[in-house]
Chains A and B, each alone.
Chain A
């Protein structure tokens, strides 16, 4: 597709359940970012990939959060043992090269009950 695609659009998880969120960046985009957006807030940085290398994971809130991009295209954000405070919209963004502006997907809204 022409834009960044994220799936699922909505995910409801019971507390303690593991979830996996998928991001398909724009074809050919080298840089990929994950952001977390709580209700009424701006997006907050989670992690950054350049191709398959995870160059910055300083924004991941705990070791329950794990991201990968094994072949330098599709990325998965995994959250283990979900907690209620993990409820948020998880946005993926990609850019052609690292200095280029980001193009965001529509996000996955995660609700932990």
Chain B
């Protein structure tokens, strides 16, 4: 099925560094969301974006809904070891919240 584009597949950063992740699509979405998944667990919602151009923060996380509605980015500032995990972007076109996910980016944080 259709998936959003996330790359690279893996990122390695030093503790304390900032990291930015991008997500792109060939289709327009009306809602963008960012989830984090730890091994053996389900995805946990980090940030939800509902309006083109919207910039939203949640603690050390900041995400933006692209103006074209075909992309979004997530920024993590001052990374810490517990930021390790897989980060998924997801988009929704309709009100029933059926989501299309990217393949995810695995983030590793070196202490």
Contact = CB atoms under 8 A, between A and B. Distances in A.
Interface residues of A, number: 28
Contacts of A55: 96
Contacts of A72: none
A93 B96 contact: no
A106 B44 CA distance: 10
B42 A31 contact: no
B88 A42 contact: yes
A45 B100 CA distance: 7
B43 A106 contact: no
A44 B3 CA distance: 8
A102 B40 contact: no
A40 interface: yes
Contacts of A40: 103
Nearest to B101: A42
Given A4-B42, A42-B104, A106-B42, A101 B98 contact: no
Given A48-B98, A102-B45, 11 more contacts: A4-B42, A41-B3, A42-B104, A43-B99, A44-B101, A99-B97, A101-B97, A102-B97, A104-B35, A104-B44, A106-B40
Interface of B: 1, 3-4, 33, 35, 40-45, 48, 88, 90, 95-104
